[in-house]
């Protein structure tokens, strides 16, 4: 069994529950500190939260997940990169013998950016 926390496994459930609990807690705290809140106001505030919470949850969750089309595109791009470099004739021993320094790495990075400026 995975030891991931609930937040890692189900971020949307945590955010959604947190928004609703926070709203109820705020209303309760206002009442405790002497703010006169009638039942109609409490119902109105919690009703607004019940409408706004799904919108907030959807907005936050969208930043945490990828659509299937995006995943397919990312997988295709990764496969294309693998295919491009799969034809190299260099073996592991030869690769380890290369004398790379930081300038070589920066040159390679510049060349890759020129080849694909969106990367």
What whole-number distance in Å separates Cα of residue 75 and Cα of residue 43? 48
- The predicted model gives 65-86 an average pLDDT of 79
Place of tokens 């040159």: 107
Contact present, 61 and 15 (Cβ < 8 Å): yes
What whole-number distance in Å separates Cα of residue 50 and Cα of residue 16? 10
Contact present, 45 and 23 (Cβ < 8 Å): yes
pLDDT of residue 98: 65
Question: Does pLDDT of 1 surpass 60?
Answer: no
- The predicted model gives 87-99 an average pLDDT of 64
Residue ranges of domains in the chain:
6-62, 68-115
- The predicted model gives 34-55 an average pLDDT of 84
């Amino acid at each position: 069994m995975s030891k991931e926390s609930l937040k890692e496994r189900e971020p949307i459930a945590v955010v959604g529950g947190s928004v609703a609990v926070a709203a109820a807690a705020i209303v309760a705290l206002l009442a405790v500190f002497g703010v006169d809140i009638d039942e109609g106001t409490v119902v109105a505030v919690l009703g607004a939260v019940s409408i706004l919470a799904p919108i907030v949850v959807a907005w936050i969750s969208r930043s945490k997940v990828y659509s299937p089309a995006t995943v397919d595109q990312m997988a295709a791009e990764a496969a294309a990169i693998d295919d491009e470099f799969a034809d190299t004739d260099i073996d592991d021993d030869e690769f380890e013998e290369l004398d790379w320094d930081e300038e070589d790495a920066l040159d390679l990075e510049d060349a890759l950016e020129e080849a694909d400026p969106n990367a």
